[in-house]
């Protein structure tokens, strides 16, 4: 397949087979993904892998500290996310400079897209999510972030149980203005 095909056939995958994901492969793909542009070579990322029994452990540790009604609501969201055999939390350090932080988020997004395309090339499917709870102090402590870190996104990874069709995009023709 060409790069064009990989870009156009990547779709968010919500359901997966039970086949587990090989650690060595994911490490290899992350080692390639980080060749994304990043300002001043800050390399503003690290990765937390959650899979197998650790998914349930994280869920329980989080939900047991929430009030019942919120635990029910977040529990349902976590159950959807945890359908994937592996969840990768892409972690970004916070800086004291707002502009640097925007650049670091952009770098994270580029690196994540690299990862998702490479995953597709290797027969895997993915879904990136930024549910609001990832920003809460409680979730950050349960997932063991350092004080000056955020989860830039959760990326679910696994083998698709069905083929999804890519959604239509607006053609560039409708988006381009020629500066005069």
Ligand X SMILES: Cc1cc2nc3c(=O)[nH]c(=O)nc-3n(C[C@H](O)[C@H](O)[C@H](O)COP(=O)(O)O)c2cc1C
The contact set with ligand X (CB under 6 A) reads 11-12, 128-131, 153, 166-167
> Smallest distance, Å, CB 27 to ligand X?
23
Q: Among residues 22 and 79, whose Cβ is nearest to ligand X? A: 79
Please state at what angle helix 68-81 crosses helix 53-63, rounded to 10 degrees: 160
> Smallest distance, Å, CB 77 to ligand X?
9
Q: Among residues 48 and 128, whose Cβ is nearest to ligand X? A: 128
Q: Among residues 163 and 177, whose Cβ is nearest to ligand X? A: 163
> Smallest distance, Å, CB 127 to ligand X?
6
> Smallest distance, Å, CB 40 to ligand X?
23
Integer Cα distance of 100 and 153 in angstroms = 18
| Residues 42-78: b if buried by 16+ CB within 10 A, e if exposed | eebbeebebbeeebeebbeebbeebeeeebeebeeeb
Integer Cα distance of 98 and 36 in angstroms = 21
Integer Cα distance of 112 and 126 in angstroms = 10
Tell me 115's DSSP state.
H
Q: Among residues 32 and 128, whose Cβ is nearest to ligand X? A: 128
> Smallest distance, Å, CB 47 to ligand X?
16
126: three-class secondary structure by DSSP: strand
Q: Among residues 130 and 141, whose Cβ is nearest to ligand X? A: 130
């Amino acid at each position: 397949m060409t790069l064009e095909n990989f870009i156009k056939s990547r779709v968010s995958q919500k359901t997966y087979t039970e086949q587990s994901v090989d650690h060595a492969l994911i490490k290899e793909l992350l080692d390639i993904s980080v060749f994304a542009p990043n300002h001043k070579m800050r390399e503003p990322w690290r990765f937390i892998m959650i899979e197998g029994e650790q998914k349930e452990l994280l869920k329980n540790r989080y939900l047991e500290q929430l009030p019942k009604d919120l635990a029910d609501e977040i529990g349902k969201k976590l159950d959807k996310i945890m359908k994937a055999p592996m969840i990768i939390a892409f972690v970004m350090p916070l800086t004291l400079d707002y502009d640097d932080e925007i650049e670091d988020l952009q770098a994270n997004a580029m690196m994540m897209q690299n990862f998702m395309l490479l995953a597709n090339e290797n027969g895997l499917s993915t879904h990136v999510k930024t549910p609001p709870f990832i920003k809460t102090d409680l979730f950050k402590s349960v997932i063991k972030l350092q004080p000056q870190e955020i989860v830039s996104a959760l990326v679910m990874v696994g083998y698709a149980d069905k083929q999804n069709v890519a959604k239509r995009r607006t053609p560039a023709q409708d988006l381009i203005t020629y500066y005069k």
